[in-house]
Amino acid sequence: MSRLRKGVYTGVDERQVRQALEQLEKGFDLKAIPAQRRNESYFDTFDGALYAAGYLLRKRGMKLFLTDLDDEPIAGGPAVKANHFFAWEISAPELREVLRPAAGIRALSRVCSRRISREVVQLRNDDGKMVARVVYRYGSAAAEKREAALQPLVRIEEIRGYESAFEKASQLLQAAGLSGPVEGRNSLNHILDALELPSLFSSSKYTLALDKDILLGQAVAEIGCCLLAAMEVNHQGVIEDRDTEFLHDFRIAVRRTRSLLSQMKKYLPEAQLAFFQNEFKWLGSVTGPVRDLDVYLLMKEDYAGMLPPQLHRGLEEFFVTLESRRTGSMEAMRKALKSERYAGLTEEWRHFLENDRQGWPGAERRCQPIARKAICRRFEKIMQNGLKIDVHSGDDDLHRLRIQGKKLKYMLEFFRSFYVPEEIDFFHGQLKKLQNNLGDFNDISVQLQMLEEHAGFLPTGTRRSLRIGGAIGGLITHLSGKHAKVRRKFEKTFAAFASAENQERFQKLFV
Amino acid sequence: MKILAVYCSKGGVGKTATSVNLAYAASRNGLATLLCDLDPQGASSYYFRIRPKKDFNTKKLLQGNIQKYIRGTDFDDLDLLPAHFSHRNIDLKLDRKKLEATALRDALSPLAGEYDVVFLDCPPNLTLFSETIIASADMVVTPVIPTTLSMLSLEQLLKLCRKIEIDKTRIHAFFSMAERRKSMHVDIIGKYRKYKIFMKAVIPYMAEVEKMGISRKPVGAVKSNSVASLAYERLWKEVEQRGRLR
């Protein structure tokens, strides 16, 4: 049906709004519908993926309502009975299929809520026909331990074919002193305005831009604090086990921190450096087992696709054992992340970055030349080691190259703002292609190793073991073929990365 | 978009009540619905309390220039194109030489993206315009009071279909204003209901339906679980299934 106009007006307080509504009697007969009270919560992923995709998802009672950013309805269905849920758990097919691509593997959690009273006034003509509708909303909103009253809102809704009634009602409300029509503010914006929050979403994307003339000490502090903030913002989601991405992003921040410490080791005090390297290594090790299992569990559908139906039962049983292992590893990880050791690490790291720079050997040096040297060193190492790899090289050689590539990648990210964005992004893109190949190779290697180990631990003689063994055997066969295929692509991929053109570009940019 | 004509050449059989209540049921069941009041008496328009805009007329209807004349009812997903008194001369506007059998379908085609179903509340006559309506509609729902004369008008409708070469399976009849205390009604329903043309749902004579003239609302909007409302809901379900309206 045709898109009808809506005019949103705001008042200072309830008294002003009610007086304005009374003015509508000058043009219409009014029929008031009794007020309805609603409690509703807004759901989204941690990083606001639904909002970014143009959706607002609300839960009211035991129902979900999906709208666009103009609050126009799209789909709805029964709610999932949990505080955090995934799009694939939604039972209503239309709603589920809209949300799945938007939310991906991220959990949907409550980001804010509101309690509103909603009064409807029908504006009628002399025939008793409703020619416009006015909806008056007032109430309160809550998010992040804040609560505030919502600014009272009056919305006029046009009825098709009664354009002049809509205009007349708008004029009467404006004449009565209401502000508007307000544009581009949806119900979520209304909540943010009341709570005085810029956004309800967080991002773990690394976007820090350093000043070109920044000193090394300041640069390391800013990068370190940015990464620490990423760890902290994901910490609660990891503890609650809301979805796999919280741990993934947490570990990326830890890896980047370790890379920072390693790259800048010459310029940091030895004793503290050793301490933090050890502690962040510990953090990587206590979070590794759960992440490894998450990766396998996320592969479940893909694995099922690799096997004939006869082996699916064994695969299912295999995944039951993985789930069970994950539960145990999760408990251990939770304990570590709630420990005094972890709390102490973050506190001391923050203090070190913010307050202790006087003792650093290279704190007062300009960062850019040092960064450039480090990037060049990394690139040369990759070139040397990559060119040595041939068909006879072992898996370890590619693994080492991948680690070196990662270190270069992090350096390019940390110091991106020192260079022309298009040029460094191009180079970053070239590196990404190489890293994708090496990453795929490594992922399959790790999966094969895990499967072989698991097969080795299966108790002998039971039917269950036979089934699981059959499934694992099928997976190993399939993955081995894939492994060889990815390996065969390496030489061509590396040649593209190491091309004369790329080397020239690198020289121009960094040397 | 499906076009569903509610038609009978005989007056007083419950066409308007059928049009209004089926359109309401369609909208309650999630279909974006338009009711076109083609009867110059304007009874559907009266029920919904809607008058036409001053510059609307038959010429504009036949030119397909109707979007701005459609008006929203008091119910979500249900709009109305009100009647106009000039529709009494609609046959004069249809040029026999240039007549396209599906003139009405063409006029409504710009609305295909907006509505799932369009109901036509048709005038009770047998004219050139009736032929256009029947040729344009995907489905013709015809109320039949279970009397001899009403059955005769059904015969006439089928004859008209043969004349204008329209597949008679487009016609779906149902017994309307049926009264169990009248033996003729009982006999005729008993004799003819087995024929495929007749839907299973029967709309009994109900005071509630007569009172629509006072409430000026569909029966379902007065009380959603009344006998009348449930009867029209049952009829709607059958119409929806026969017409494959989803």
DSSP codes of every residue in A55-84: EEEEEETTEEEEEETT--EEEEEEPPSSSE
Q: What pLDDT sits at residue B97? A: 42
Distance from CA of A158 to the nearest CA of B (A): 9
B74 vs A122: CB contact, 8 Å cut-off?
A: yes
- Chain B nearest-CA residue for A1: B114
Q: What pLDDT sits at residue B57? A: 85
Determine whether A389 is exposed, middle or buried from the number of CB atoms within 10 Å of its CB (0-12, 13-18, 19+): middle
A128 vs B216: CB contact, 8 Å cut-off?
A: yes
Cα separation, A165 vs A169, whole angstroms: 6
Condensed to tens digits (0 to 9), the pLDDT of residues A422-445 reads 989 998 999 999 999 999 999 999
Calculate mean pLDDT across residues B79-106: 75
- Please give the biggest Cα pair distance in chain A: 91
Determine whether B165 is exposed, middle or buried from the number of CB atoms within 10 Å of its CB (0-12, 13-18, 19+): exposed
Taking CB atoms within 8 Å and a gap of at least 24, the contacts of B151-154 are B151/B188, B151/B192, B153/B8, B153/B9, B153/B10, B154/B197
Distances (CA, A) of A461 to A62, A307, A311: 49, 23, 18
Condensed to tens digits (0 to 9), the pLDDT of residues A283-297 reads 999 999 999 999 989
- Chain B nearest-CA residue for A127: B49
Ranges of chain A whose pLDDT falls below 50: none
Q: What is the mean pLDDT of chain B?
A: 91
Distance from CA of B16 to the nearest CA of A (A): 19
Q: Would you say residue B134 has pLDDT above 80?
A: yes
Q: How many CB pairs under 8 A join A and B?
A: 34
Condensed to tens digits (0 to 9), the pLDDT of residues B154-174 reads 999 999 999 989 999 999 999
Please indicate if any CB of chain B lies within 8 Å of the CB of A127: yes
Contacts of B76 in chain A (CB under 8 A): none
Q: Take residue A445 and report the two structure tokens written for it.
A: 């290697």
Contacts of A160 in chain B (CB under 8 A): 70-72, 79
* Backbone dihedral angles phi then psi of residue B91, each to the nearest 5 degrees: -60, -35
Please indicate if any CB of chain B lies within 8 Å of the CB of A130: yes
Please indicate if any CB of chain A lies within 8 Å of the CB of B131: no
CA-based Rg of chain B, rounded to a whole angstrom? Answer: 17
Q: What pLDDT sits at residue A59? A: 96
Nearest to A127 among B32, B49, B77 (CB): B49
A122 vs B32: CB contact, 8 Å cut-off?
A: no
Distance from CA of B46 to the nearest CA of A (A): 10
Cα separation, B98 vs A215, whole angstroms: 86
Please indicate if any CB of chain B lies within 8 Å of the CB of A26: no
B79 vs A1: CB contact, 8 Å cut-off?
A: yes
Please indicate if any CB of chain A lies within 8 Å of the CB of B179: no
Q: What pLDDT sits at residue A170? A: 95
Calculate mean pLDDT across residues B51-62: 87
CA-based Rg of chain A, rounded to a whole angstrom? Answer: 29
Which amino acid does the sequence have at B140?
V
On whether the CB atoms of residues B101 and B56 are closer than 8 A, the answer is: no
Global ipTM: 0.89
A161 vs B32: CB contact, 8 Å cut-off?
A: no
Phi-psi map region of A139: left, alpha, beta (phi>0 left; psi -120 to 50 alpha): left
Q: In A161-215, which ranges are continuous DSSP H helix?
A: 163-175, 187-195
Distances (CA, A) of B196 to A199, A243, A289: 62, 57, 68
Please indicate if any CB of chain B lies within 8 Å of the CB of A126: no
Q: Take residue A340 and report the two structure tokens written for it.
A: 């005094």
Query: Tokens 């370890």 identify what position?
Result: A396
Handedness of CA A318, A330, A456, A479 (dihedral sign): positive
Condensed to tens digits (0 to 9), the pLDDT of residues A325-363 reads 999 999 999 999 999 999 999 999 999 999 878 888 888
Q: In chain B, which ranges are continuous DSSP H helix?
A: 15-28, 43-47, 58-63, 90-93, 103-108, 128-136, 148-163, 183-192, 207-210, 212-215, 219-222, 227-243
B115 vs A1: CB contact, 8 Å cut-off?
A: yes
DSSP string across A114-148: EEEEEEEEEEE-TTS-EEEEEEEEEEEEEETTEEE
- Determine the 3-state secondary structure of B225 from DSSP: coil
Nearest to B72 among A122, A128, A161 (CB): A161
Distances (CA, A) of A288 to A243, A260, A321, A448: 16, 19, 18, 17
Please tell me whether the peptide bond between A181 and the residue prior to it is cis, using omega within 30 degrees of 0: yes
Q: Take residue B97 and report the two structure tokens written for it.
A: 């030489």
Please indicate if any CB of chain A lies within 8 Å of the CB of B32: yes
- Determine the 3-state secondary structure of B83 from DSSP: coil
Nearest to B51 among A1, A127, A130 (CB): A127
Contacts of A166 in chain B (CB under 8 A): none
pTM of the model: 0.77
Please indicate if any CB of chain B lies within 8 Å of the CB of A10: no
Q: Would you say residue B211 has pLDDT above 80?
A: yes
Partners of B175 in the β-ladder = B144, B202
Query: Tokens 């029929």 identify what position?
Result: A31
On whether the CB atoms of residues A117 and A138 are closer than 8 A, the answer is: yes
Contacts of A162 in chain B (CB under 8 A): 71-72
Q: Take residue A202 and report the two structure tokens written for it.
A: 């967080």
Contacts of A122 in chain B (CB under 8 A): 74
Condensed to tens digits (0 to 9), the pLDDT of residues B12-25 reads 999 999 999 999 99
Q: What is the mean pLDDT of chain A?
A: 93
Q: Would you say residue B92 has pLDDT above 80?
A: no
Please indicate if any CB of chain B lies within 8 Å of the CB of A410: no
| Nearest CA-CA partner of A160 in B108, B43, B82 | B82
Please indicate if any CB of chain B lies within 8 Å of the CB of A1: yes
Report angle CA A150, B75, B221 to the nearest 5 degrees: 115
Please indicate if any CB of chain B lies within 8 Å of the CB of A2: yes
Q: What pLDDT sits at residue A71? A: 87
Phi-psi map region of A54: left, alpha, beta (phi>0 left; psi -120 to 50 alpha): left
Q: Take residue A215 and report the two structure tokens written for it.
A: 């000193």
Calculate mean pLDDT across residues B226-244: 95
Q: What pLDDT sits at residue A2? A: 64
Contacts of B74 in chain A (CB under 8 A): 122, 129-130
| Nearest CA-CA partner of A417 in A179, A157, A222, A191 | A222
Query: Tokens 């007569």 identify what position?
Result: B210
Q: What pLDDT sits at residue B61? A: 82
Nearest to B114 among A1, A161, A162 (CB): A1
